[in-house]
Amino acid sequence: MRLFPTISMPILTGTSIWNQMVRAILMLFIPAVALTGINTGHSDAAPNGDSGFKPSEIHFVTRVLPVLESRCQPCHGRDREKIKGGLSLMNSGGFAAGGENFSDLNIIEEGHAEPLLIRIISRTVPDLEMPPKQSDSLKADEIDSFRIWMNSGSPWPSQESIASIRQLHATGTGELVKTSGGLSADWDNRRYRPDSLWAYRPLSEVEIPKSPEIENPIDRILEKTWKKLGIEPAPMADSRTLIRRLKYTLHGLPPDSGTEEFQEAESSTPMDDPSWNDLVDRLLADPAYGEKFGRHWLDLVRYADSAGLANDFIRGSAWRYRDYVIRSFNSDRPWKEFVLQQLAGDELPGNNPDNLIATGFLRMGPWELTAMEVPRIARQKFLDDVTDITGQVFLSQPLQCARCHDHKFDPVPTRDYYSFQAVFEYTQIAEAEVPWGDQGEPETTPDRQVIEKRRQWHQQTLRDLDTMREEAQREWCRERGLPPMTRSEAVRKGLPEGRLPPRHAGFSVRDYGMDRIARKGLQRLSWEKEQFEPVAHVVYNGAWPDISSYNSPRREPEAPWDGAMETVAILKGGDPFSPLEDVDPGALSVLDGIGTMPPIADSRTGRRRALARWITAPDNALALRSIANRVWLWTFNRGLVETPNHFGVTTPPPAHPELLDFLARYFEESGGSIKALNRLILTSRAWRRSSFAPDRRDETGILRSQFACFTPRRLTAEEIRDSQLKVTGLLNRSMGGPPVKPMMEMETALQPRMVMGTFAEAWQPSIRAADRNRRSIYTLQLRGLRDPFMEVFDAPSPDLSCPIRGQSAIPTQVMALINNPSVLSRAVFLASQIAQPAGTEHNQKEKVVSRAFQAVFGRLPSPVEMDGSLHFLQTMEAFHKQNAPQAVEIPGRVTRHAVEENTGEPFTFTELLPAYQLMEPDPWIGDLPPSARAAAELIHQLLNSNEFFFLY
């Protein structure tokens, strides 16, 4: 079959090389067309008997023109005022006329094989690479379409002919998608490659292959594919590897020595299916599960305990949302309820505190309103934030791209963006009183004293300044022969401005600085002290409260509908001062085009509830695929779709579409139980396979991408810290409550940082050692001051939603372990437990090494390792006998050099650091004798070794 009989047409501009190339390309191109199954709409007959149009014209309209329209015409002719390079590509006349840089796009210049246009769109002509952005480059088959068109004489039919051809051959070039409508007809008429719309289509009916000997449907689906692809899967992994893998996957911790699973790991017999399934159930039931899976969710929603930006105010009660998330994963809260509470908990009946706490989801982005800002812009920022994050988290569809223009790639018009935003039209924020609930009031820790001391310090500063100021004001009066009085006294007497003593009488540069520090410090404390109050960061429905700044916590107003009523409109270029037309609340119309979705109510309240119902509707395939893929990723360490926050048309289809649809359906049918999906995946044979291929390297990566072997990984930042605490015996497993503050690298902790108008307080650790040794999920997360240890191991910035952790390997990671007093102190603690002070005999040292290996790796050392370790112990003991240990200095105060904002002059002040003075010290190496110090050095190395860091 020849699709393009025009190949024999007279070649107007060709040379023989060009001619041969086109033939060659056509040979390649024809099977490609056949494969994609696109009906090109015409056959051998030339001209096409049905329509009277030549195949080359049809080819132009169906294959070339769409590219011209979407990629070239925006700069070349659509805007008559601004025609780039003087070249219009709106019609044949413009094409023939050429532009400033050339007169004929058909020309084949000397020394080149192809016409100028082809070279330009192949981006091989210097300074004329088109389209200008490399990331917009035309695809090879698009360039081929141009080649074929030019080879056939570059026909360009009239507008009427184009319209007729379009009508006759409408289905030929991809799929039209019906949406609520773009800002231009061109966008509405845009066609999509059918396979690129996979994420929006209804879930397919997956037929589970029949194979009676395989129980788990995941295995049935995968093994059928492996067979088809000729893949030999990796063998099953051994119990020891599997149990460690399972513990980290579900708990983020190493196996617990002395427990049942640990003994199972030690036993050489492979676990049979029933005992494996039992183990999976036991670990799923352990509350550590919520701490690990909750962390995945917190990464997505950008959890932090502070607001970021200029003030970085502490969000005192953000932790209640964090605990809610952990509770939800542990209780396997049905997905519908989980979504509903987070998007619309305040719209639900009843007085379950979790309903309100959950709406903290909508508060997680960085946001503030300062007096310097335009409230309307800050408000718009909030609306844009919740719109986009809701799309990313629940639909794997970022919406931000559609804020200013119809989405460039995905079927999301700007109208949808603002309809989605209208769901949040009356959503306002507050720090509302929410009772403690079943968990009860959190224990009061000594850290509260530190807050109190800081408050006293600031108040004392202000009192001292007032005393000094009042005296200076009286002095000012005396100098002028006026009756001595303070400014406020003078104001009360109604004296004119000329007789009022200056507001800042007697202030030195330092006084100005201290005044700001104290005032700002008290303002910051008003947020921080809410950690201990029965308060939560929530949303409510109401009018915009018409405030110009948001500098202290706000309770829900008594009359929420007093204030400015907003209307959500399509905003030109995303600018809140350029509304185009009002929109009604709605969700993504593309899903309506593909399935049928429940409508969103146009009432003052209940909009978010309706959105949550829309998201969790059984036929919302996009949302179901999104969460199914996430659970698979969290369990398997690799997603079926590798961009879990974006399933749009530019995303390659899932590695295994059938499997994803099966999981999505299974999840829906199991009542939205994440644990049920966990269980299904974890009990599959696929999950239990080795990280090793049997007999060859997997050059193409297909074993991993088809889940025929496990993908190993480095531990995450939290896992590294928590595991070090765990194996050394220091981990405090208590759950929930206000955030704790571990020791932070000292220079970072004391690094002065500016907040609006002044400086933020230093990082001060929790006073009780046990508080500092809690799991990382409970540590204070400040946007403006991130823990460098966590950061260097890829803990994500809370400014962006993070669906997959990075796994970088950089030398600073090594330094963060070796030069870190906190890591050493963990080793010291374990050394104090396992090293016998009196034990100097050789076999005593062997015992120490064995115990250290047993604790850190859960196994005994090999003979080679034993020899190396004994040698190292000896070297270290010799070193420590000659060198007295030096303590890391713990400061009680810090002197800061700062520049005062008003005057631009430098000043110095001293910040008190009560927590460092009050805190229980960490275990210190100096408290051990040299032999035990050597053991601590050994353990310190083990804690940093590759064996500790990688999971197979």
Q: In angstroms, how far apart are the furthest CA atoms of the chain?
A: 110
Q: Closest separation between CB of residue 756 and other proteins, Å?
A: 7
Q: In angstroms, how far is CA 723 from the centroid of its own chain?
A: 24
Q: Closest separation between CB of residue 694 and other proteins, Å?
A: 5
Nearer to other proteins, 155 or 861 (CB): 861
Q: What are phi and psi of 713, to 5 degrees?
A: -150, 160
| Distance between CA atoms of residues 723 and 949, nearest Å | 10
Q: Are 945 and 876 in contact (CB under 8 A)?
A: no
Q: Closest separation between CB of residue 310 and other proteins, Å?
A: 5
Whether the link from the prior residue into 74 is cis, omega within 30° of 0, is no
Q: Closest separation between CB of residue 451 and other proteins, Å?
A: 22
Identify the H or E element spanning 350.
none
Q: Closest separation between CB of residue 631 and other proteins, Å?
A: 19
Q: Are 693 and 710 in contact (CB under 8 A)?
A: no
Tell me the three state secondary structure of residue 323.
Answer: helix
Closest C-alpha among 155, 22, 63, 41 to residue 8: 22
Q: Are 317 and 780 in contact (CB under 8 A)?
A: no
Closest C-alpha among 130, 105, 125 to residue 115: 105
State the Cα angle at 279 between 276 and 281, rounded to 5°. 110
Tell me the three state secondary structure of residue 105.
Answer: coil
Q: Closest separation between CB of residue 371 and other proteins, Å?
A: 6
| Distance between CA atoms of residues 638 and 804, nearest Å | 9
Nearer to other proteins, 104 or 791 (CB): 791
Residue partners of 465: CB distance under 8 A and separation at least 6: 507, 511, 514, 515, 518
| Strand partners for 540 | 428
DSSP string, 683-695: TSTGGGB-SS-SS
| Strand partners for 909 | 896
Q: Closest separation between CB of residue 692 and other proteins, Å?
A: 4
Closest C-alpha among 915, 902, 899, 885 to residue 750: 915
Nearer to other proteins, 693 or 767 (CB): 693
Nearer to other proteins, 325 or 517 (CB): 517
Q: Closest separation between CB of residue 70 and other proteins, Å?
A: 15
Nearer to other proteins, 1 or 864 (CB): 864
Q: What is the DSSP letter of 895?
A: E
Nearer to other proteins, 342 or 716 (CB): 716
| Strand partners for 306 | 314
- What letter represents residue 847's amino acid? K
Give CA separation, 123 vs 128, 135, 863, in Å. Answer: 7, 11, 61
Q: Closest separation between CB of residue 325 and other proteins, Å?
A: 22
Nearer to other proteins, 327 or 656 (CB): 656
Nearer to other proteins, 13 or 643 (CB): 643
Q: Closest separation between CB of residue 594 and other proteins, Å?
A: 19
State the Cα angle at 593 between 592 and 599, rounded to 5°. 15
- Ranges of beta strands (E only) in 624-707 are none
| Distance between CA atoms of residues 26 and 627, nearest Å | 43
Nearer to other proteins, 679 or 786 (CB): 786
Nearer to other proteins, 436 or 577 (CB): 577
Nearer to other proteins, 121 or 434 (CB): 121
State the Cα angle at 38 between 36 and 44, rounded to 5°. 115
Q: Are 222 and 215 in contact (CB under 8 A)?
A: no
Q: Closest separation between CB of residue 40 and other proteins, Å?
A: 28
Q: Closest separation between CB of residue 850 and other proteins, Å?
A: 15
| Distance between CA atoms of residues 220 and 726, nearest Å | 38
Q: Closest separation between CB of residue 706 and other proteins, Å?
A: 11
Q: Which stretches within 63-122 are classed as H helix?
A: 65-67, 92-97, 116-121
Nearer to other proteins, 217 or 712 (CB): 712
Nearer to other proteins, 437 or 639 (CB): 639
| Distance between CA atoms of residues 633 and 635, nearest Å | 5
Q: Closest separation between CB of residue 770 and other proteins, Å?
A: 24
Q: Closest separation between CB of residue 130 and other proteins, Å?
A: 11
Nearer to other proteins, 536 or 649 (CB): 649
Nearer to other proteins, 631 or 873 (CB): 873
| Strand partners for 432 | 536
- Ranges of beta strands (E only) in 149-305 are 175-176, 191-192
Q: Closest separation between CB of residue 457 and other proteins, Å?
A: 19
Would you give the end-to-end CA distance of the chain in angstroms? 52
| Distance between CA atoms of residues 176 and 928, nearest Å | 74
Identify the H or E element spanning 428.
strand 427-433
Nearer to other proteins, 562 or 947 (CB): 947
Whether the link from the prior residue into 287 is cis, omega within 30° of 0, is no
Q: Are 199 and 624 in contact (CB under 8 A)?
A: no
443 half-sphere exposure, CB direction, 13 A CA radius: 8
Closest C-alpha among 406, 24, 251, 378 to residue 951: 251
Nearer to other proteins, 423 or 934 (CB): 934
Nearer to other proteins, 24 or 887 (CB): 887
Q: Cβ–Cβ contacts within 10 Å for residue 191, how many?
A: 16
